[in-house]
Structure 1
Amino acid sequence: MAQNLQLRPVDLARPHGLSTQAVRNYEEAGILPAADRTPSGYRTYTPRHAQALHAFLALVPGHGHRTATAIMRAINAYAVEEALTLVDRTHAQLLEDRGTLRAVEAALRDLAPVARERADTFVGPLARRLGVRPATLRKWERAGLVQPRRDRRTGYRVYTAADVRDAQLVHQLRRGGYPLERIAPLIAQVRSAGGVAPLESTLHDWHARLAARGRALLAGAAALDAYLGS
């Protein structure tokens, strides 16, 4: 298709199930290059605009709408290095997410004996067991990572088997270099799953989501490369 062929907004919109207004919005957002206008003021597009739209829609599943928009804006502003840096960042994040999944799997394997415990324990014995200071456990508590109850009579912190499980998971991930703010959602997932065993059943889905995102990044890269070569 010749690049000087004139296309209407509907010609870009229809193959993707979009409205013509969406195409105009994408142009105004810088996702598409600026369109020429007819003497009567109507927008006219070219196959290059169609490639830009295809590239953007291919980028969204892997990068998300915001990053995909930033990539296309950079490309259309001839800032190719900036666009490729954004692509690299998403790939780096995916690699980091894979590392997190491996760390969680390893930590959950270590947690299996803890999940079967029933006796409560206190801050001192738990700190010695993990090889950390009691102050560290209190810091984790302030961050919401462990939630021991207080003994009504003594006021001492009492850690149930679930609390011990959470503390050991935090400890394993901290040893792996993960900051508290990244550990918090994982602990929340363990709690919402009702323990370790139900969470383990979700790991396959986690792997599948990461694999799907990796494939989406490949598809987006192919479409972006085609647009860059147009």
Structure 2
Amino acid sequence: MNPQTDTQLRPIDLAREHGLSTQAIRNYEDAGILPATVRTPTGYRAYTPLHARALRAFLALLPGHGHRTASAIMRAVNDGDVAGALRLIDESHVQLLDDRRTLQAVEGALRDLDPAGTKTRPEADTGTGTTPAPRTGPRDTFIGPLAAQLRLRPATLRTWERAGLVRPRRDPQTGYRVYDEAAVRDARLTHQLRRGGYLLEQIAPLIAQVRSAGGLEPLEAALEDWHGRLSDRGRALLAGAAALDAYLDHLDRRR
């Protein structure tokens, strides 16, 4: 390749097309996102249509891949490691597929939740009925009945509590864990996701979303938004691939 045979462009020419600063253009070159330029006899950087295509490719990759991966893709291409660049693109697609599966798992878990199942008779942790039950709400329950309902050991619910996935309150008189409707919901949702193979650290942000939404019904809007964001990412990955392909095609023709 011989950049000197191309039409020369100034940094401002590349910057104006995308509303960037000339310093950003220089930073992109220094980071390897743009191929190296040649210098004019007066010391100025001489950009070419090749750099313009590289910049378009990078900016198209950004929405789908993020700055770090998009930068790595462009550096790999400019270093001649096209296979490495394609591998990075594949990893972004795998991540998107994983996110889609997570969303499907959350939706499946929410469908499996039975609000009627939260109506359990308050009992003590011991389950013997010999200890007077403290005053609770109509849908409150205790660790023994909830564990039996979910077919879990009480120790599992305690583990989830330590991980912040379930937040029972403590009865001030007996010290027993009291699971209100929200805590039962979180336990059931955690149980469904664990059955789907998800780790506790993967479940935590999903439980946080349910809590921030104020319950399951308001979460429907969040799930719809989640679908939209995943679709936007998918389209962005396609747009980035098209722009990168145009850049690669231009490199091939120059060779």
What is the percentage of aligned positions where both structures have the same residue?
72
Residue equivalent to 2:65 = 63
Find the aligned partners of 2:224 and 2:116 in 1 and give their Cα distance.
22
Partner letter of residue 55 of structure 1?
Answer: A
Q: Does 1:42 align with 2:44?
A: yes
Residue equivalent to 1:193 = 213
- The 8 Å contact of residues 145 and 167 in structure 1, kept in 2 or not, is answered as yes
* CA shift in 2, pair 1:206/1:114, >3 Å: farther
Find the aligned partners of 2:146 and 2:216 in 1 and give their Cα distance.
19
Aligned positions, number: 229
Of the three residues 193, 199, 210, the one matched with 2:230 is 210
Partner letter of residue 5 of structure 1?
Answer: T
Residue equivalent to 2:253 = none
Find the aligned partners of 2:99 and 2:5 in 1 and give their Cα distance.
40
Q: Give, in angstroms, the shift of residue 201 of structure 1.
A: 2.2
Q: For residue 6 of structure 1, give the secondary structure of its aligned residue in structure 2.
A: coil
Find the aligned partners of 2:117 and 2:21 in 1 and give their Cα distance.
53
Of the three residues 239, 242, 246, the one matched with 1:219 is 239
Larger Rg: 2
Of the three residues 125, 130, 134, the one matched with 2:154 is 134
- The 8 Å contact of residues 61 and 236 in structure 2, kept in 1 or not, is answered as yes
Find the aligned partners of 2:20 and 2:118 in 1 and give their Cα distance.
53
- Correspondences of 1:54-133 after superposition (within 5 Å): 54-114=56-116, 117=119, 118-133=138-153
Residue equivalent to 1:31 = 33
- The 8 Å contact of residues 114 and 165 in structure 1, kept in 2 or not, is answered as no
Residue equivalent to 1:165 = 185
Find the aligned partners of 2:162 and 2:75 in 1 and give their Cα distance.
42
Find the aligned partners of 2:27 and 2:239 in 1 and give their Cα distance.
24
TM-score (norm 2): 0.87
Unaligned runs of 5+ in 1: none
Q: For residue 35 of structure 2, give the secondary structure of its aligned residue in structure 1.
A: coil
Find the aligned partners of 2:224 and 2:159 in 1 and give their Cα distance.
32
* CA shift in 2, pair 1:210/1:196, >3 Å: same
Partner letter of residue 140 of structure 1?
Answer: W
* Most deviating of 58-67 and 197-206: 197-206
- RMSD of Structure 2 on Structure 1 (CA): 1.5
Q: Does 1:12 align with 2:32?
A: no
Q: For residue 178 of structure 2, give the secondary structure of its aligned residue in structure 1.
A: strand
Partner letter of residue 17 of structure 1?
Answer: G
Find the aligned partners of 1:198 and 1:93 in 2 and give their Cα distance.
26
Residue equivalent to 1:175 = 195
Q: For residue 158 of structure 1, give the secondary structure of its aligned residue in structure 2.
A: strand
